[in-house]
Structure 1
Amino acid sequence: MDIIGIDLGTTNSAVGVVESGFPILLANEVGERITPSAVSYLDGGEVVVGAEALRRRGAGGEVITSVKRYMGRRFREVAGEDYCVELSEAADGGVLAAGRKPEVVSADILRKLKQVAELQLEREVEKAVITVPAYFNDAQRNATKLAGEMAGLEVVRIVSEPTAAALAYGLDKLGEEARVAVYDLGGGTFDISVLEMREGVFQVLATDGDTQLGGDDIDEALAYWCWQSVGDGEPLAEGERQRLVDAAREVKELLSSEQEAVLRIPFFREGMHLEQEVTREQFERVVSAVIGRTEGHCRRVLTDAGIKDPSEELDAVVLVGGSTRIPAVRALVERVFGQSADVSQHPDEAVALGAVIQAGVLSGALREMVLLDVTPLSLGIETFGGLMNVLIPRNTTIPCKAGEMFTNAVANQQSMRVRVLQGEREMARDNWELGNVDVSFDPAPKGQARVGVQFSIDENGILEVLARDTLTQQDTVLEIDSAAVDVDDEAVEKMVSESVDYAFDDMSERIFTEAKLKAEELLPAVEAGMSQVGDVMAAEDVAQIREAESEVRAALEAGEANPLKAAVQKLDKATEHMAAVLVEKAMEAALMKKLGE
């Protein structure tokens, strides 16, 4: 059974398969291995995909491009953005592009690629491996999988794009050991991953990125600068904006090989022809802020992977994605990583080739290779006191499972709310809630009801949460759907950077909260214990307990973490003798009761 590999790209897409033991990309009806990710819907219901759709834009038709940037997102995240077609809100709060969900548009692109494969192979295909940006969240991955299913494909694996590129890079290096970084700057997304290859095993050590950063942003920046330079000061209409962006893209591509180019749009407006000369130096100055946004991600991924000197500890920095053709991008990579970039992979085809290789492994058509990906953000639940309890740390290799047992924090409570969180902060309120579920159980004394929580991330990076009442063995499964994740990618980047910026404050608050919970548990226990055995204890021991008790209350009132933690530890130590006396008294009472019987 064939399994095809698909790179569903923001700007371009590609499809391939393993034939006679070799991974190949398949050409479409015009002989091109690359198909533009462009869709146009004609009045009669016909759907046009690819280069033909782009030609309709030149004739003034409505064409949807770069729809990948809106997969799995909420309308309120994107409201007001400039886009090639009108954006509106779906009934479920999602995005509609020209009245269609991004999954529907993506499904039409995938359906086209499926047709290309079937035409070339002269047989039906039903299964596929599809790539996504490494930093796609759960909703975006699910939306991609749904698009594949709508196109009539069983999506057997979702693979991160940098990982796929590393597979393509490492196909002829299976006997070698190497540690490589893959810098993937495409039309709409950016990923950076560090991977280790050893005897056919590809393990992702760390990953980072931004699913709203790519060549589209470079085009927009250049188009805006050109309009500021030669425009008439009037705002751009939607059709005009798109023509200007398309022209800027052509100039950008020319400047990758030339020192200067001319942006020229005849009859742009009545009585207006646009013509602007752009040098490579001007272009690099205009887009430096956009390109520079990748640097922080690169430095963060090196830290996460434990790499201090990339020039010595990395065997290669592999560039993929069409935007890496830009000389300024290559210069930035060489500066950050301290070595020349590896441009051996085809920028537009490497990811698709990696998807084909993974598809070949799954179908048995290629020699065995093991692919070990990672989860990009920590996952956990909220515990008593508003703390974030991490079950699966960031950069854990997937697929994976992790679980923990939790008890009722209050006597006689009848249910427990499991809030599933994603993020890097110590307090639950500072992380993102992916979903929640209430688990019911019989009322019990404090700490007696037990609920097991298990997180399971499959090979596609999709999360399933299972909560089990250990008494009844009843399971509650939480499915994270696309409406549950409401974060944009600037927020993802902000989350990671804030976890570093506020690390000291967060840890201080966590220490205080944990100590406060311990104090609130310990103080009533001390009072109860003293009322039972205080009169038989030495005056010196009683004074020591009372002094420690006063220090705890003072530290609670002051609200300082470390003094409270120290005071609680002191009180805990001071009450050890009291606890022993209480045990002796209980044993005596039990013995007297037995003798009385």
Structure 2
Amino acid sequence: MSRVIGIDLGTTNSCVSVVENDTPVIIPSATGATTTPSIVAFTKNGERLIGEAAARQAVTNPERTITSVKRHMGADWSARIDGKEYKPQTISAMILMQLKKDAEKFLGEEVTEAVITVPAYFNDIQRQATKDAGRIAGLNVKRIINEPTSAALSYGLNHGEPQKVMVYDLGGGTFDVSIIEIGEGIIEVLATSGNNHLGGDDFDERLVQGIVRKFKDKTRVDLTKDFAAMQRIREAAERAKKELSTSDTTHIMQPFITQVKGEALHLDMVITRQEFESMISDLIQKTEDPVRNALNDAHISPAQLGRVLLVGGSTRVPAVQRKVREMTGKEPSRNINPDECVAKGAAILGSTLQGRGLVAAGTGQDLLLLDVTPLSLSIETVGGVATRIVQRNTTLPARYSQIFSTAAPYQRNVDIHVLQGERPMARDNKTIGKFRLKGIKPAPAGVPQIEVTFDIDANGILKVSARDLDTGREQSITITADDRMSDMEIQQAMQDAQNYASQDQLRKDAIELLGDANKLLIRTERCVKNAGKQLEKAVKKQVKADTAKLQKLVAKCRLDRVDANQLSEIRAAKEQLEQSAGDILMRYDGGQQ
């Protein structure tokens, strides 16, 4: 049985972990790092780059580089490159495929199953989109788990003593806060809240705006119209943000940032931590309401918290840590690595789902996880009212049924509009599905009895069924949310992903083969020259013909269009030249390579 990996699919960086000897360990990336940048790029010759390789060329290839795709999960968004549309699920799948590949290299075995984390405040469509991305990447997603819950699971493995913990999770693109109770081997989520559009990316953007404003004040040049300059500034801003977490000032130097009337201008400025904190103070303030809501929903005060755990790279910002201390009156715990704990928690859950239960420290009991649904589920009723069926922070899995009827006489069909959110009116909440129940027995309004059942599984994904109580017949309900990928689209994306993987391998094989072929051509030319007139004319003629054939095939080979047949031809031509020139290579080159 292959092991289940845990994946933290992040906005800025992603991380993968696996349990070894009852301990979760981080799987290193291809470059040896503990995290992989969540970046995908396409070069002009058709090569696909992921992670560090994509990040390195982002400034020089911005139009074909995709970052922060997690912010678009479950939305009607796509990137168009070389005439092809890429949905968020497809781009995310490419990142997941790289993590899967790194895991297989680390473990020395095929990996087919994973637990993937999502922000606690992700809705049904966003969760389904994440699960679809896993399928496209060739992974059986055993569970979708909330990121703060996963972090608490990682913490609870080593801190099993009864306590209430607040997980404050501020990542690159999302913010979540969860109140979690740990006790007697049980990790129970009491409440969760958050903001799906708040994170380190927003901090970076504020810093970018500040840099551009200071440059304009000094030079009267507006850099926002210079695409290449803005990419360099964004990269510099991210570095500056990190430096300001440990230093009071940062020096930003970008020579030749732009040209005005043929004269080069340089960007050279100092940003202080105080300036940066002033730029982002309102963003940090936005975390206060979710914290207050989560505490209220859990019916506890900050004084009852045993620990406050900081998760996500953006919690390294000193102003964020001060805000947490101010809100809770507690010094945030530094017992967990904010970049790694989410992936480790997912790996722990993956191991548990395989029946390899892990024991919580100090309890001698296997860990049991009880999560909650982050948002209320409602149905639109007469007057556009959102009638609540499932309350937010309901423990998962959950199953709720309610009886509905018709609003007009002799209706044959009923349209049911399912919503997610906390607002009283339907129009102010998020539509996650529209369902039509057909074939109702004609009757006066209010007479038909239609039982609608909501099933929320352990992933937080909703399924709906309906039954006409008059006839007892089950009715099928089709989810029509536009933002989900159809099964056909997912299958096509899976095929595309496999094609990409094979194409990537072909390119690697081609690069290696072309390198060897060119070395052979250079070596053969040198040896023929060294042999001079000592070569028999027939041998020389054959070597010359074989050399010309290989040179022609090498010259024709394009990495962006290479196929297996081309490689076979080049390989055969190379072997032919090695055979015809073998004696010459041995005699006049001493067998050197």
Q: TM-score, normalised by structure 1?
A: 0.74
Structure 2 residue aligned with 1:50: 51
Q: How far off is 1:28 after superposition?
A: 2.1
Structure 1 residue aligned with 2:170: 185
Structure 2 residue aligned with 1:364: 355
Structure 2 residue aligned with 1:331: 322
Q: How far off is 1:414 after superposition?
A: 2.8
- Pick closer, same or farther for the CA change 1:343–1:123 going to 2, 3 Å: same
Q: Judge which range, 234-243 or 447-456, deviates more.
A: 234-243
Deviation track 1:347-398 (CA, whole Å, cap 9, x = no partner) reads 1111111111111111123323222111122112233454432211111111
Deviation track 1:325-350 (CA, whole Å, cap 9, x = no partner) reads 11000000000111111122111111
Q: Are 2:409 and 1:405 equivalent residues in the alignment?
A: no
2:197 partner SS: coil
Q: How far off is 1:141 after superposition?
A: 0.9
Select 1:218's aligned residue among 194, 203, 207: 203
Select 2:146's aligned residue among 142, 152, 160: 160
- Pick closer, same or farther for the CA change 1:473–1:463 going to 2, 3 Å: same
Aligned counterparts of 1:406 and 1:98: Cα–Cα separation in 2: 44
Aligned counterparts of 2:382 and 2:197: Cα–Cα separation in 1: 35
Counterparts of residues 249-268 of structure 1 (less than 5 Å) = 249-268=238-257
Counterparts of residues 418-437 of structure 1 (less than 5 Å) = 418-437=416-435
Select 1:74's aligned residue among 57, 66, 76: 76
Deviation track 1:483-505 (CA, whole Å, cap 9, x = no partner) reads 258xxxxxxxxxxxxxxxxxxxx
Structure 1 residue aligned with 2:457: 458
Deviation track 1:528-585 (CA, whole Å, cap 9, x = no partner) reads xxxxxxxxxxxxxxxxxxxxxxxxxxxxxxxxxxxxxxxxxxxxxxxxxxxxxxxxxx
Structure 1 residue aligned with 2:88: 102
Equivalent pair of 2:165/2:179 in contact (CA under 8 Å): yes
Q: How far off is 1:275 after superposition?
A: 1.0
- Pick closer, same or farther for the CA change 1:88–1:42 going to 2, 3 Å: closer
Equivalent pair of 2:123/2:420 in contact (CA under 8 Å): no
Equivalent pair of 1:142/1:482 in contact (CA under 8 Å): no
- Pick closer, same or farther for the CA change 1:433–1:252 going to 2, 3 Å: closer
2:15 maps to amino acid: A
Aligned counterparts of 1:481 and 1:5: Cα–Cα separation in 2: 30
- Pick closer, same or farther for the CA change 1:482–1:388 going to 2, 3 Å: closer
Aligned counterparts of 2:167 and 2:22: Cα–Cα separation in 1: 25
Equivalent pair of 1:88/1:97 in contact (CA under 8 Å): no
Q: Are 2:18 and 1:17 equivalent residues in the alignment?
A: yes
Q: Judge which range, 469-478 or 371-380, deviates more.
A: 469-478
Structure 1 residue aligned with 2:5: 4
Aligned counterparts of 2:476 and 2:271: Cα–Cα separation in 1: 57
- Pick closer, same or farther for the CA change 1:472–1:97 going to 2, 3 Å: farther
1:184 maps to amino acid: D
Q: How far off is 1:293 after superposition?
A: 1.4
Q: How far off is 1:427 after superposition?
A: 4.0
Deviation track 1:166-221 (CA, whole Å, cap 9, x = no partner) reads 111111123x2111100011111111111111112111111111111111110110
Select 2:283's aligned residue among 285, 290, 293: 290
Structure 1 residue aligned with 2:37: 36
Structure 2 residue aligned with 1:505: none
Equivalent pair of 1:421/1:428 in contact (CA under 8 Å): yes
Aligned counterparts of 1:380 and 1:274: Cα–Cα separation in 2: 53
1:434 partner SS: strand
Deviation track 1:72-106 (CA, whole Å, cap 9, x = no partner) reads 1134xxxxxxxxxxx6689xxxxx99842111111
Structure 1 residue aligned with 2:491: none
Equivalent pair of 1:194/1:301 in contact (CA under 8 Å): yes
Structure 1 residue aligned with 2:500: none
1:27 partner SS: coil
1:336 partner SS: helix
Counterparts of residues 342-353 of structure 1 (less than 5 Å) = 342-353=333-344
1:210 maps to amino acid: N
2:155 maps to amino acid: Y
- Give runs of ≥4 in structure 1 deviating > 6 Å: none
Q: How far off is 1:450 after superposition?
A: 1.2
Q: How far off is 1:107 after superposition?
A: 0.6
Counterparts of residues 279-318 of structure 1 (less than 5 Å) = 279-307=272-300, 309-310=301-302, 312-318=303-309
Deviation track 1:1-57 (CA, whole Å, cap 9, x = no partner) reads 211100111111111111222211111232212111111122343321111211112
Aligned counterparts of 2:367 and 2:101: Cα–Cα separation in 1: 28
Gaps of 5+ in 1: 76-86, 91-95, 486-597
Aligned counterparts of 2:481 and 2:134: Cα–Cα separation in 1: 15
Q: How far off is 1:444 after superposition?
A: 2.4
Structure 2 residue aligned with 1:382: 380
1:418 partner SS: strand
Structure 2 residue aligned with 1:203: 188
Gaps of 5+ in 2: 359-365, 485-593
Structure 2 residue aligned with 1:238: 227
Q: Are 2:115 and 1:129 equivalent residues in the alignment?
A: yes
- Pick closer, same or farther for the CA change 1:236–1:342 going to 2, 3 Å: farther
Aligned counterparts of 2:335 and 2:10: Cα–Cα separation in 1: 20
Q: How far off is 1:142 after superposition?
A: 1.1
Aligned counterparts of 2:382 and 2:10: Cα–Cα separation in 1: 43
Aligned counterparts of 1:449 and 1:152: Cα–Cα separation in 2: 45
1:186 maps to amino acid: G
Q: How far off is 1:443 after superposition?
A: 1.5
Structure 2 residue aligned with 1:272: 265
Aligned counterparts of 1:404 and 1:460: Cα–Cα separation in 2: 22
Q: How far off is 1:260 after superposition?
A: 0.8
Deviation track 1:413-448 (CA, whole Å, cap 9, x = no partner) reads 333322222232334444443322232311124543
Aligned counterparts of 1:432 and 1:8: Cα–Cα separation in 2: 23
- Pick closer, same or farther for the CA change 1:274–1:184 going to 2, 3 Å: same
Aligned counterparts of 1:57 and 1:98: Cα–Cα separation in 2: 20
1:360 partner SS: helix
Aligned counterparts of 1:68 and 1:148: Cα–Cα separation in 2: 13
Deviation track 1:270-311 (CA, whole Å, cap 9, x = no partner) reads 21110110111111111111222111211121112112x30x
Query: What do you get for the CA RMSD once the two structures are aligned?
Result: 2.1
Q: Judge which range, 320-329 or 137-146, deviates more.
A: 137-146
Q: How far off is 1:145 after superposition?
A: 0.8
Q: Judge which range, 352-361 or 289-298, deviates more.
A: 289-298
Aligned counterparts of 1:202 and 1:480: Cα–Cα separation in 2: 33
Aligned counterparts of 1:429 and 1:323: Cα–Cα separation in 2: 33
2:349 partner SS: helix
- Pick closer, same or farther for the CA change 1:121–1:88 going to 2, 3 Å: closer
Q: How far off is 1:320 after superposition?
A: 0.8
Aligned counterparts of 2:273 and 2:456: Cα–Cα separation in 1: 45
2:56 partner SS: helix
1:420 partner SS: strand
Aligned counterparts of 1:410 and 1:216: Cα–Cα separation in 2: 50
Matched residues, percent identical?
A: 45
Q: How far off is 1:463 after superposition?
A: 0.8
1:343 maps to amino acid: R
